[in-house]
Chain A
Amino acid sequence: MRINSGRTPRVTLLISLAFMLRVVSSCIDPVWDFDFNFNKITVGNLDNSGIYWTDTDDNTMYSAAVAFKVTISDEMLLASGVLRRSDAGFTGFTPVSAMSPEPRYHPKHRITGISIVTLEDMSPGISAGTDVTGLFVAHLPHFKTHDFLYLDAEELPSALDQEFYPGEPSVSFQLFCRENIAGNAAQFLITVTLSDESTLSATTNPINLVRSE
């Protein structure tokens, strides 16, 4: 019996091999895990006079609605753009990539502590330089999303500390002061401590306080 060794079977065999390789490779989970360092902290103002807070550049707040948004991130990784998933179209799609839609960022040093120090007198009993962490509550997006109320600021480190952060190498949270601040100005120093004992600090803008009618 003569085995057919013509061009058509050979081409078919090659295409079949390529197809099988593609099938096998598409079932391999692509790498979506990255290590990163928290090396940047930014603080912005929030307008929390309404039902829901909004970001604002205004440095005037109601004295009972002093609120900030804090973001800690890996500035280098964010700037490099390596975390951006390429939009490779059809050929970039694999069965496994469909199951792994977001990259995961693992911090080299975990968050262990947060402190807030007032740089202005808040009341006769709370002078500038006092640690006022206990006077703040916090909200962490995607953390117990069914809850309406806040977290105590002391609970923030454990709530923020994750084995990995999905999507991008950063995490944000909101801080809200419980006090109706007696003075006309407020400013705070916010410090995040990491597991290697390093700290990231940022100072809020000087805030002008107004009283609610």
Chain B
Amino acid sequence: MRHLAAILPFLILSLAATPLLQAQGRFIEKKQASIWFGVRDITPDSLANSGDLDFLNYLHSSDEMAEYQYLGLSAHLWFRGNWEADLKVGMYDDFAPTSLNLKAIWMPMKYLGYTAGFYSYPQLLNEFNMFHRLSDEGFYGDTDSNFRQRCVHETGIMAGLVMPVNYRFIHLTLYMNGGISTLSKFSEKVTQKMINGNMKREIRYSTKNSPALFFFPEAELGLDCFRIGEATLGVRGHASWYAVKRSVDYKRATWEWTYDNPVYEEVDNPAHRFSKLEIDAGLYLTW
């Protein structure tokens, strides 16, 4: 159901692009549909451990290769009156359309326009329980032996400039987006037991909203290759960079021995910079 809700705006607007709705033909001047495959690389700050768990130290990242691969679909619609819509949906190997990049574009000038839209993508927090395993001496830091992993979503609204350049069969578009985003809130539980002792402890984390400004430039290059009747088939490439500096603060409740008398604490963590680079390529059909 969650996936359906996410893809619904894309489906609605894609439907509008179909020739089944003839009335739209007078409203939509041109349509483009694309399919592409891409890679996503996350580069987070990793700060020294303090006395408190900092979830952003456990953003999934590796030095060897891009952390995520995704398949994407997009639609670009050119309306009358210099308005455009650009809709991109990406999915990991679970085929859940969880990466969204939806923009409305107004082009008052040939080479300069304005955008406003919505952006969201998922990423993983892995093995955050290692903080407790390493720092809580004398305890089994987490009695849960499973691989601890959580999916969190960066979600934000954005606005910016767009600069399209079209020369014969070459179409280059630059976007300079910025906005405000937040990491999805979540709750986690860590259970601990004293080594060679009876004492048990349970720690529950509930994160807070973490709004932060982000910068999100994008570049798109399209090359028309073939004409098939009224349609044009081409290849496309797209690159983007997302940068943000945020902290994940939370409320922590700790129980010892029994569920009586918990200790509640508010924890403010330092802000981390992290960035995301995406590169993808594919095919498009314009008609």
Q: Which residue, B193, B194, B198, B202, has most C-beta atoms of chain A within 10 A?
A: B198
List residues 37-89 of chain A with CB under 8 A from any CB of chain B. Answer: 48-49, 51, 62, 64-67
Given contacts A148-B143, A148-B191, A152-B260, contact A176 B198 (CB under 8 A): yes
- Residues of chain A within 8 A (CB-CB) of B68 are none
- Residues of chain A within 8 A (CB-CB) of B202 are 148-149
Closest to B189 in A: A148
Chain A CB within 8 A of B197 CB = yes
Bound CA–CA A64/B195 (angstroms): 9
- Residues of chain A within 8 A (CB-CB) of B260 are 152
- Give the Cβ gap from B139 to chain A, nearest Cβ, in Å: 10
Bound CA–CA A48/B260 (angstroms): 22
Q: How many residues of chain B are within 8 Å of chain A by beta carbon?
A: 18
Given contacts A147-B259, A149-B259, A150-B258, contact A212 B200 (CB under 8 A): no
Bound CA–CA A67/B200 (angstroms): 13
Bound CA–CA A167/B200 (angstroms): 30
Q: State which of B191, B193, B197 has its C-beta within 8 Å of the C-beta of A212.
A: B197
Chain A CB within 8 A of B255 CB = yes
Given contacts A51-B140, A51-B143, contact A149 B196 (CB under 8 A): no
Bound CA–CA A48/B197 (angstroms): 7
Bound CA–CA A136/B194 (angstroms): 16
Closest to A175 in B: B198
List residues 240-262 of chain B with CB under 8 A from any CB of chain A. Answer: 255-260
- Give the Cβ gap from A50 to chain B, nearest Cβ, in Å: 8
**Hey, what's the 0/1 contact readout for B246-287 against A, CB within 8 Å counting as 1?**
000000000111111000000000000000000000000000
- Residues of chain A within 8 A (CB-CB) of B255 are 149
Chain B CB within 8 A of A137 CB = yes
Closest to B140 in A: A51
Given contacts A51-B140, A51-B143, contact A151 B258 (CB under 8 A): yes
- Residues of chain B within 8 A (CB-CB) of A177 are 198
Bound CA–CA A65/B195 (angstroms): 9
**Hey, what's the 0/1 contact readout for B167-208 against A, CB within 8 Å counting as 1?**
000000000000000000000000101111111101000000
- Residues of chain B within 8 A (CB-CB) of A147 are 259
Closest to A64 in B: B197
Quick check: A137 and B258 within 8 Å, CB to CB?
yes
- Residues of chain B within 8 A (CB-CB) of A65 are 194, 196-198
Given contacts A148-B191, A148-B202, A149-B202, contact A49 B196 (CB under 8 A): yes
For chains A and B in complex, what number of residue pairs have CB atoms within 8 angstroms?
51
Bound CA–CA A52/B171 (angstroms): 64
Bound CA–CA A66/B196 (angstroms): 10
Chain B CB within 8 A of A158 CB = no
Quick check: B258 and A212 within 8 Å, CB to CB?
no
Q: Which residue, A67, A149, A152, A176, has most C-beta atoms of chain B within 10 A?
A: A149
Chain B CB within 8 A of A100 CB = no
Quick check: A212 and B196 within 8 Å, CB to CB?
yes
- Residues of chain B within 8 A (CB-CB) of A151 are 258
Quick check: A149 and B258 within 8 Å, CB to CB?
yes
Bound CA–CA A177/B259 (angstroms): 17
- Residues of chain B within 8 A (CB-CB) of A62 are 196-197
Given contacts A148-B191, A148-B202, A178-B257, contact A64 B143 (CB under 8 A): no
Closest to B255 in A: A149
Bound CA–CA A64/B139 (angstroms): 13
Quick check: A150 and B200 within 8 Å, CB to CB?
yes
- Give the Cβ gap from A69 to chain B, nearest Cβ, in Å: 13
Chain B CB within 8 A of A25 CB = no
**Hey, what's the 0/1 contact readout for A176-199 against B, CB within 8 Å counting as 1?**
111010000000000000000000
- Give the Cβ gap from B216 to chain A, nearest Cβ, in Å: 42
- Residues of chain A within 8 A (CB-CB) of B196 are 49, 62, 64-65, 212
Bound CA–CA A108/B197 (angstroms): 38
Quick check: A64 and B198 within 8 Å, CB to CB?
yes
Quick check: A51 and B193 within 8 Å, CB to CB?
yes
- Give the Cβ gap from B254 to chain A, nearest Cβ, in Å: 11
Q: Which 7 A-B pairs have the closest CB atoms?
A: A64-B197, A212-B196, A176-B198, A62-B196, A148-B191, A49-B196, A51-B143
Question: Which A residues are within 8 Å of any B CB, using their own CB?
Answer: 48-49, 51, 62, 64-67, 137, 147-152, 176-178, 180, 212
- Supplied contacts A152-B258, A180-B197, 5 more A-B pairs, CB within 8 Å: A48-B197, A48-B198, A62-B197, A149-B200, A212-B197
- Could you write out 5 A-B pairs with CB less than 8 Å apart? A148-B143, A150-B257, A152-B258, A178-B257, A180-B197
